[in-house]
Structure 1
Amino acid sequence: MINALTALDGRYAGLTKEIADIFSEYGLIKHRVFVEIEWLKFILTDLKLAPFNDLSTEKLDKIAQNFDLEDARNVKEIEKKTNHDVKAVEYFIKDKLDLLGLSDIKEWVHFACTSDDINNTSYALMLKKGKKAATNLLRQLIADIEQKALQYKSVPMMARTHGQPATPTTVGKEFINFAWRMLQEADVMDQSRVQAKINGATGNYNAHHFVYPEINWIEASQRFISNHLKLAPILFTTQVNPNHSIAFVLHAMIRVAAIVIDMDRDMWGYISQGYFKQRVKKGETGSSTMPHKVNPIDFENSEGNMGIAISMMEHLCVKLQKSRFQRDLSDSTVLRSLGSAFGYFAIGVKNSLKGLSKIELNDGVIQKDLDNNQELLAEPFQTAMRVFGEENPYERLKELTRGKKIEKKDLEKFVDDLEKVPLDFKKRMKQLTPETYIGLAQNLVDTYFQTYLSKE
């Protein structure tokens, strides 16, 4: 929408649709209705606290299953009167029960619950879906990076430390570094359990125990959370869920976002150095005044949106674990932005993927850098000199190379003047080039795939 307040619902709406489906106001209300219906079914069919015809379970299920935008608007209309969003859901369900001829059970809706029993379970279900969507996106990015690592496994490249020429590597090895880092966090996100609670106004099952002291409510709530909602039960709370699982997931996403930014910046740098070219799309403009430009805008977009995601997720992680005494409402307004954090994260990943889809290796520029930096061989030469007992190897190569551009012939003369290095090893030294001085870079790429793909 061109009049949307945030870029998530405006410019980037096409990139965040699956996130909006989960975390929108509509999504939240829909999850609340689902939890209320599941709790009602549990009360009636598992705990059997009131006479109930099992055939009517289908009618209850349809309230949640058929919930649509019009229903959500009805809930919002009720909320205008109640000024309470969860109570509006309760009244909405009671109205539905009246229409279904189930008025006799409507007072069991929201039985012994506080608002956060419904809210925390709803957000937990949303978080579970959100982390799945985020992890799926992340694994798409990892797969793309892995493909490029294989494609460029054996392509030598001059590495840079402190931005200066350094020991050579391969293009594929540098890609696999990022794949491995992201994979660790994807696994953390996949394995993380999302927790929820349903234990009353201050977490002690007070009302539950008062009216039905014979029921083991601790065990019953665990059974409901595990079996009906497919979440991990949490018992030790105040009125609010302490939100450890939200923080756990978001902290992993923060680390992922930092890794993606790291890769975005490296790709930006490699493009500016000419190591990669970007495919030109007919009709696109790179600059309003400089027609020749093809800017790395996708990586820049990813970096910027990931920065926003990190800022939001850091605040959510810290804020949502704090609540004055047994309850305050400052978490409620913050939780509304949980979807925004996931939205910015999704935009960041998708634009990084888009950037990677446009790049092509520029072998000529990469080769030229290797050929023009013979001083890269100072490291292996001085190491060999140490092995064979040459005096002051580091200092002598420092004198030859530091701050200078040297040619192949300068290195060959230097090798000829060595006194203790055997002739056969001198021959190896003369044959060495920056292009062939890549260590075990290719082997490391192979090791990654042997280690991680064999687990799948």
Structure 2
Amino acid sequence: MSPSSPAIDPSHVDDSALSPLTAVSPLDGRYAGRTRLLRSFVSEYALLRYRTLIELRWLQKLASEADIDTPAPAGEGAMGFLEDIIDNFSLADAERIKTIEKTTNHDVKAVEYFLRERLSKAVAIAPELDAQDSKWLNDAKEMLHFACTSEDINNLSFASMLADARQEALLPSMRRLLQDLREFARTYAGSAMLSRTHGQPASPTTLGKEMAVFAHRLESPLDRFAKSPIRGKFNGAVGNYNAHLAAWPDIDWPRISREFVAGLGLEWNSHTTQIEPHDFIAELFHALIRFNLVILDLCRDMWSYISLGYFRQRPVQGEVGSSTMPHKINPIDFENAEGNLGIANALLGHLAEKLPISRLQRDLSDSTALRNIGVALGHSLIAYESCLKGLSRAEVDEDALAGDLEGQVDVLAEAIQTVMRRHGIENSYEKLKSLTRGRHIDRKALEAFIEDLPIPQGDKDALLRLRPRLYIGAAKELALDIGLGGGTEALTGDATESVPESVIDAKNEL
């Protein structure tokens, strides 16, 4: 600590005062409001609730099997009591589990002991229970965690967590991004814009078509992420049903396991060691990484377009862009998204590579890694919301687009040399290269070159009429088509007004 910095009194930042100001992670600090939705799925409280759910669902599954006669058949009151534990699982319940864990030093066993307490106190908690239901609940506590290894409970808990977080938190924002880009593409489908390759002026495009490219790129990873199966296993200490068969050797335990896992909305993994190998997590996260990379590319391009003046950012009353330069409105939303996407993908990439590897039948190194799933998802979610906010504040400056484009008549060289090739003029490319490369030519020089070409007058007139804003090919149609099926139908329709007749004829002959 610097000699000039006073020591911080630890009592000023105690556990009971945990807040966005005292949180270590910015996810629960600065960005707490933007990650609040995820708390229901990826917090420590949520994990304990999922574990409680899995333990009780397993107990209910055992009770439903006619060939398993311990405990005796349960009544509706007993089943209702178990459902109440799940439905009303509270922070106080989670805190009780954490208190038990201080003694057990085992997080899953603490959940089992918490449930044993609840079942033992069933009469006191729910005095309306009849004697039979009360006895069943008391007897059933011995079947809690039956034949389970902790990983049976944990893998299904994390799988359920991922399934719910994907459906309720991530996919809505991801789909909004795709939809906003599609709408952006269609709105500005005909807004001609100078493209840039290698940072240099290139053939004209439209702003809408460039946004359509991002929308199109998002479709595949979004589809893969949404449909990627989430798997679970439930087969004991090393995946062989050893304990199950020791207790009831004549029961079809793989069938029960399959039904149990499927009943949770998960895909059953039949062959595992002690752990579900997490291959599905790698598949899921690689799809998310790909989605995030497209958004990252979008954010950087939006930053560049803003820098070029193609977009204005709507000012917000009271906001400050710079502490010293009052005029500035910085592209902070896209920059924020870029930073968070980098962190998210670093974590997602590590988890995708680390989790599928476990020594022999298992090691515990995946345990601490799995606890960071929520961190990776949180940074992704922040990025999506920042990108959406940035897009909502961006206003296209049509004058800037037009001014930049019309000053680059040399981009028409491609069209001219292509028409020349159509008519068999020797060294067409080289002649245009000599005229335009490394030089800034004006329209007068370009028109003089066209007038001297030995081509039909109709094609010559078409080239003389051509302007950079008209030389956009099928960009408008491609933009309008996004999300409506795609493919070559985007190249049909009235997309020919800006193209010389000879080029049209050549296209029609193909």
Q: Which residue of 1 aligns with 2:34?
A: 15
Q: How many residues align?
A: 451
8 Å contact 1:45–1:54 — kept in the other structure?
no
8 Å contact 2:215–2:482 — kept in the other structure?
no
Q: Please, which of 108, 114, 119 is the counterpart of residue 143 of structure 2?
A: 108
After superposition, the C-alpha distances for 1:89-117 in whole angstroms (9 at most, x for unaligned) are 00000000011132111010000000000
1:175-194 to 2 correspondences below 5 Å: 175-194=211-230
Q: Distance in 2 between matches of 1:186 and 1:104?
A: 48
Q: Return the offset for 1:166.
A: 0.3
Q: Which residue of 2 aligns with 1:144?
A: 180
What SS does the corresponding residue of 1:111 show, helix, strand or coil? Answer: coil
Q: Return the offset for 1:180.
A: 1.1
8 Å contact 1:178–1:259 — kept in the other structure?
yes
- Label 1:49 to 1:322 Cα distance change in 2 as closer, same or farther (>3 A): farther
Q: Please, which of 363, 374, 379 is the counterpart of residue 409 of structure 2?
A: 374
1:407-446 to 2 correspondences below 5 Å: 407-419=442-454, 421-446=455-480
Deviates further, 87-96 or 181-190: 181-190
After superposition, the C-alpha distances for 1:241-292 in whole angstroms (9 at most, x for unaligned) are 1011111111011001110010000000000000000001111110111111
What SS does the corresponding residue of 1:158 show, helix, strand or coil? Answer: strand
After superposition, the C-alpha distances for 1:295-316 in whole angstroms (9 at most, x for unaligned) are 0000000000000000000000
What SS does the corresponding residue of 1:288 show, helix, strand or coil? Answer: coil
Q: Which residue of 2 aligns with 1:202?
A: 238
Question: What is the letter of the counterpart of residue 98 of structure 2?
Answer: K
Q: Distance in 1 between matches of 2:188 and 2:83?
A: 53
Q: Which residue of 2 aligns with 1:174?
A: 210
Structure 1 position 232 matched with structure 2 position 267: yes
What SS does the corresponding residue of 1:277 show, helix, strand or coil? Answer: strand
What SS does the corresponding residue of 2:54 show, helix, strand or coil? Answer: helix
Task: List gaps (5 residues or longer) in structure 2.
Answer: 1-19, 123-133, 487-510
1:44-443 to 2 correspondences below 5 Å: 44-47=63-66, 48-50=68-70, 51-55=72-76, 56-100=78-122, 101=134, 102-132=137-167, 133-227=169-263, 229-419=264-454, 421-443=455-477
Q: Return the offset for 1:53.
A: 2.3
What SS does the corresponding residue of 2:89 show, helix, strand or coil? Answer: coil
Q: Distance in 1 between matches of 2:186 and 2:286?
A: 30
Q: Distance in 2 between matches of 1:70 and 1:263?
A: 44
Q: Percent identity?
A: 46
Q: Distance in 2 between matches of 1:251 and 1:54?
A: 46
Task: List gaps (5 residues or longer) in structure 1.
Answer: none
Question: What is the letter of the counterpart of residue 76 of structure 1?
Answer: K
Q: Distance in 1 between matches of 2:357 and 2:69?
A: 35
What SS does the corresponding residue of 1:451 show, helix, strand or coil? Answer: coil
Structure 1 position 42 matched with structure 2 position 61: yes
**TM-score, length of structure 2 as denominator length:** 0.87
Deviates further, 174-183 or 112-121: 174-183
Q: Return the offset for 1:126.
A: 0.3
**TM-score, length of structure 1 as denominator length:** 0.97
After superposition, the C-alpha distances for 1:59-78 in whole angstroms (9 at most, x for unaligned) are 11111111110000000000
Question: What is the letter of the counterpart of residue 435 of structure 1?
Answer: R
What SS does the corresponding residue of 1:113 show, helix, strand or coil? Answer: coil
Question: What is the letter of the counterpart of residue 142 of structure 1?
Answer: L
After superposition, the C-alpha distances for 1:204-223 in whole angstroms (9 at most, x for unaligned) are 00000111111111111001
What SS does the corresponding residue of 1:360 show, helix, strand or coil? Answer: strand
What SS does the corresponding residue of 1:110 show, helix, strand or coil? Answer: coil
What SS does the corresponding residue of 2:202 show, helix, strand or coil? Answer: strand
What SS does the corresponding residue of 1:213 show, helix, strand or coil? Answer: coil
Question: What is the letter of the counterpart of residue 480 of structure 2?
Answer: D
Structure 1 position 24 matched with structure 2 position 43: yes
Q: Which residue of 1 aligns with 2:126?
A: none
8 Å contact 1:185–1:256 — kept in the other structure?
yes
Question: What is the letter of the counterpart of residue 441 of structure 2?
Answer: I
8 Å contact 1:131–1:249 — kept in the other structure?
no
Q: Distance in 2 between matches of 1:451 and 1:417?
A: 44
What SS does the corresponding residue of 2:483 show, helix, strand or coil? Answer: helix
What SS does the corresponding residue of 2:205 show, helix, strand or coil? Answer: strand
Q: Return the offset for 1:173.
A: 0.4
What SS does the corresponding residue of 1:307 show, helix, strand or coil? Answer: helix
What SS does the corresponding residue of 1:6 show, helix, strand or coil? Answer: coil
Q: Return the offset for 1:368.
A: 0.7
Q: Distance in 1 between matches of 2:90 and 2:376?
A: 25
Q: Which residue of 1 aligns with 2:52?
A: 33
Q: Return the offset for 1:391.
A: 1.8
Q: Return the offset for 1:25.
A: 0.3
Q: Return the offset for 1:52.
A: 2.6
Q: Distance in 2 between matches of 1:279 and 1:78?
A: 53
